[in-house]
Amino acid sequence: MTEHSTPPTVAATAETAHPAQPRTDFIRQIVREDIASGRHSAIRTRFPPEPNGYLHIGHAKAICLDFGVAAEFGGLCNLRFDDTNPAKEDPEYVDAIKEDVRWLGFEWSQLRHASDYFEVFYRAAIKLIEDGNAYVCDLSAEQVRQYRGTLTEAGHASPFRDRSVAENLDLFTRMRAGQFPDGSRTLRAKIDMASGNINLRDPALYRIKHVEHQNTGTAWPIYPMYDYAHSLSDAIEGITHSLCTLEFEDHRPLYDWCVAKVDLPSHRQLWEPLLARGLPTAPSKPRQIEFSRLNINYTVMSKRKLVAMVADGLVDGWDDPRMPTLQGLRRRGVTPAALRLLAERVGISKQNSVIDYSVLEGCVREDLDAHAPRRLAVLDPLKLVIDNLDVDHVETIAFPNHPKDESFGTRAVPFSRELWIEREDFMAEPVKGFHRLVPGGEVRLRGVGIVRCTDVVRDGDAIMAVHCTLDPDTRHGLPGADRKVKGTIHWVCAKHAVAAEVRLYDRLFDAADPDDDADGKTYRDHLNPHSRRSVPGWVEPEAAKADAESHFQFERTGYFVTDRRDHTPHNPVFNRTVTLRDTWGKGR
Ligand code: ATP
Ligand code: MG
């Protein structure tokens, strides 16, 4: 794997590529040229997750690229489960991955599994043996390591390297028949033990593993290695551009070697059985192109660590709203459009970088600002009584659902004498520059008119309620409504408001690079203890009524979503997706 030095952090001001303009990253440039030159008439890509965990936001970048490139150039993209490593895989992951890809807004051309091709891989291995390109090796894993050499020293040949084709065929068919114990032999490619690229020093193509596989059961006691299975799977599916992350750059010569030596397009007998199984096949000689991974600060993205966090109960499962998994982000209220916008904004290059978390939040705000209806909610309530309204006064006020988009329509918001306002919108002893409600002062109640504070009810030091009078000439729609006051605050009607649980989330880690173990700490030591708070709040009836997974802007407060699991109209639960403005690190 290629090592890369500490990457620069991309600031929140990353340039937005205009969506209407064709994208010009180096991969799309290559595809464009391949089409222009007639090298390919149709583009085929694939997204190849290993079903050993849930997809995370890094995968979203790969999905947007693989499916996006195919769509932009009139091609097709497959979803392929890279299920060659049976011990770690779980059908729960397979289902979640399919759901997540669709949720992100993409549909695959064909759903495949690397395990669909086990027979092809096997036949191809026989061909490699017959061509003198592979041999069965009896060295132990430890010996293989010793023979391999180092970056500065050539490796040396296995004593089994020059076995005859006949002996290799005999041993390999017996490996396949299950006659040897785990780890006792491997099939290795015969390439170059002195290669400067260690991946080419006779890498293993097959290992013996007597373990049941989710799709093929106990049919196979041998399993192909990643590079071999991946390159041939791409070739089988007729993939033209195999897009993957930079750590595979050093594997590309091996990828190319497998594609060239097996040469599927010229050897129909190797893949023909797939046709009878209803798997249309038109092999290609695919080309691998690498791009940089998505990294985001305050986040860990390794599947191994995410699995551990779930297993050890550091979070509430894969869809904990603080998780960088697509299920977690979804539950938090992040939309597919926001993630697609992020992928576009981050762009595609070979330059490793760490994206600032605020870039993600900016994408979320941008999408939700345009698409989330507005609602009223009060999270830290203080009672406000309008003394000059009758005790039984009730009216409804038409509120626009979106200030910038009339197509959202209006809704009826109940209003009466007693309201809840945010406690922080009142100050008994105002500091300089505070423009909301103060004793004797005026403020506009959103959609209603101007009130003046006439009295403050206390219990000891605690402020229990404020009393006001409403200036009837300033009611919404009347000429006096234009009278200027400095502040406008929101409210909900105490009589009609619905009690809701409001979950306030923050970043899961309190360090920009939770993985940096220079200080002897691991990501586990950097969990942010304040990343989740649950507060009772009051919401207007229209908000409580919403279906699960409805997105709203609570005016002046932030973007919220009804919880996918727990919300019901009788028991409303809202998750804060993101605050209205970027207040991180500003003493919130
Ligand atoms: P692990 O975390 O165990 O290394 P992985 O992230 O490589 O796993 P895969 O299921 O193998 O997970 O990934 C599927 C595809 O998603 C691969 O093509 C991989 O290159 C891509 N991918 C994974 N992580 C990222 C990331 N952070 N940014 C962009 N693409 C990614
Ligand atoms: Mg991987």
For the chain (588 residues), the mean pLDDT of every run of 10, in chain order, is 43 40 92 96 96 96 98 97 85 95 98 97 98 98 97 96 98 98 98 97 98 93 98 98 98 98 98 96 97 96 95 97 98 98 97 95 98 98 98 97 97 98 97 96 97 98 97 94 95 98 96 84 93 97 98 97 97 97 58
For residue 487, the CA-to-ligand 2 centroid distance in Å is 53
Among 491, 469, 471, 465, residue whose Cα is nearest residue 483:
471
Q: What is the pLDDT of residue 476?
A: 87
- Separation CA 141–CA 155 (nearest Å): 15
Q: What is the pLDDT of residue 3?
A: 38
61 CB near ligand 1 (under 6 Å): yes
- Separation CA 8–CA 14 (nearest Å): 13
Same-domain check for residues 358 and 284? no
On whether the CB atoms of residues 576 and 560 are closer than 8 A, the answer is yes
Same-domain check for residues 198 and 162? yes
Q: What is the pLDDT of residue 581?
A: 87
**Helices then strands (H, E): number in the chain?**
14, 27
The two three-digit tokens of residue 67, written as one number:
């499916």
Cα–Cα distances (Å) from 330 to 213, 324, 546, 567, in that order, read 31, 10, 17, 14
Enclosing domain of residue 70 = 10-113+226-292
245 CB near ligand 1 (under 6 Å): yes
Same-domain check for residues 369 and 401? no
352 CB near ligand 1 (under 6 Å): no
Q: What is the pLDDT of residue 583?
A: 65
* 566 occurs within a structural domain: yes
- Separation CA 321–CA 299 (nearest Å): 13
Same-domain check for residues 392 and 359? no
* 553 occurs within a structural domain: yes
DSSP string, 241-307: EEEEEGGGGGGHHHHHHHHHHH-GGG-HHHHHHHHHTT--------EEEEEPPP-BTT----HHHHH
Same-domain check for residues 310 and 354? yes
- Separation CA 131–CA 293 (nearest Å): 37
Same-domain check for residues 27 and 74? yes
Residue among 23, 32, 50, 366 flagged as catalytic: 50
Please provide the distance, in angstroms rounded to a whole number, between the alpha carbons at the two ends of the chain: 41
**Neighbouring residues of 287: CB distance < 8 A, sequence distance ≥ 6:** 240, 241, 242
Residue among 287, 303, 345, 411 flagged as catalytic: 303
Alpha helices for 469-526 (secondary structure H): none
- Separation CA 471–CA 442 (nearest Å): 10
Q: What is the pLDDT of residue 520?
A: 82
Q: What is the pLDDT of residue 21?
A: 72
232 CB near ligand 1 (under 6 Å): no
* 298 occurs within a structural domain: no
- Among 251, 270, 292, the domain boundary falls at 292
- Among 180, 203, 224, the domain boundary falls at 224
CB neighbours of residue 83 within 10 Å: 25
Q: What is the pLDDT of residue 13?
A: 34
493 CB near ligand 1 (under 6 Å): no
The two three-digit tokens of residue 481, written as one number:
């409504």
Structural domain total, the chain: 4
Question: Where residue 550 sits, what CATH number does that domain have?
Answer: 2.40.240.10
* 270 occurs within a structural domain: yes
Active-site residue, 404 included: no
On whether the CB atoms of residues 325 and 319 are closer than 8 A, the answer is yes
- Separation CA 122–CA 224 (nearest Å): 8
* 5 occurs within a structural domain: no
Place of tokens 């080419």: 200
Active-site residue, 61 included: no
Element (H, E) at 234: helix 226-236
Ligand 1 atom with minimal separation from the 55 CA: 10
For residue 581, the CA-to-ligand 2 centroid distance in Å is 36
Q: What is the pLDDT of residue 5?
A: 42
Same-domain check for residues 33 and 98? yes
Same-domain check for residues 108 and 15? yes
Active-site residue, 303 included: yes
Same-domain check for residues 88 and 142? no
Ligand 1 atom with minimal separation from the 245 CA: 20
349 CB near ligand 1 (under 6 Å): no
Residue among 293, 475, 532, 556 flagged as catalytic: 293
For residue 47, the CA-to-ligand 1 centroid distance in Å is 10
* 350 occurs within a structural domain: yes
